[in-house]
């Protein structure tokens, strides 16, 4: 089930293969939090602007990964997933020389009672 969002700075657009990274993140979720194969949905969103601190260096970039899961995963499994995603980002994302890259992962529980989803095939 995990809904996975990857927000990344526009300056990183050509520096990594989104499909390859998405597949690696999905496989990691299957291995670490026992997600069902085919249930992971990873969405990449390019972000045009990033401002860090009060100086706002133009040489900064960020990749922020957020997982939304149904409750019940052990904290240790969530921590292993976060660490694994950070390792995948270090392996797959190569910022331009001189760019400071920030990476972060957040794992949040979805309210099972209110969450709904669906799919339509055209």
User: Model's pTM, two decimal places?
Assistant: 0.92
Structure tokens at 78: 């969530």
Three-class secondary structure of residue 47 per DSSP: strand
Structure confidence by residue, pLDDT tens digits, 16-71: 999 999 999 999 999 999 999 889 999 999 999 998 888 767 889 999 999 999 99
Strand ranges inside the chain, DSSP E = 3-9, 41-47, 60-69, 100-109
Is 120 a member of any domain? no
Is residue 116 in some structural domain?
no
Q: Which domain holds residue 81?
A: 3-109
Confidence grade of residue 4 (pLDDT, cut at 50, 70, 90): very high
Tokens of 121: 């095939």
What CATH code is carried by the domain that includes residue 10? 3.30.429.10
């Amino acid at each position: 089930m995990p809904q996975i969002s990857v927000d990344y700075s526009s300056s990183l657009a050509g520096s990594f293969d989104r499909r390859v990274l998405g597949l690696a993140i999905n496989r990691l979720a299957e291995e670490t939090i026992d997600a069902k194969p085919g249930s992971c949905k990873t969405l990449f969103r390019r972000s045009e602007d990033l401002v860090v601190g009060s100086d706002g260096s133009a040489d900064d970039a960020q990749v922020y990964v957020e997982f939304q899961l149904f409750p019940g995963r052990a904290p240790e499994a969530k921590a292993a997933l976060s660490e694994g995603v950070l390792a995948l980002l270090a392996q797959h994302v190569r910022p331009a020389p001189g760019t400071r890259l920030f990476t972060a992962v957040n794992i949040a529980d979805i309210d099972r009672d209110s969450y709904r989803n669906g799919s339509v095939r055209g």
